[in-house]
Amino acid sequence: MRDGSLVSWTWFGLALVIFAIEALRPGRFALWLGFAAVLVGVFASVAHWPWPAEVVAFAVFAALFVPAWRHYERKA
């Protein structure tokens, strides 16, 4: 760890695990959680946030992506 933050590879690894779960049990819900983890990984590689801020960012991105996906699915 560097300065109390999670390494960006941690978030990319979490995304990989979430994508694997989505592949084993498709439903497209986990897909958006994986995208949220990737986005936090990108931000973690650029900005050096403390790990609690990264976890909050993941929760915020997930809270935005999942309802957006549900809204999109209803329209399609």
Beta bridge partners of 2: 5
pTM for the predicted model, two decimal places: 0.82
Helices and strands in the chain, H and E counts: 3, 0
Distance CA 40, CA 36 (A): 6
Q: How remote is the C-alpha of 62 from its chain's centroid?
A: 6
Q: What is the pLDDT of residues 14-34, one digit of tens each?
A: 999 999 999 998 877 788 999
How would residue 68 be classed by pLDDT, with cut points 50, 70 and 90? confident
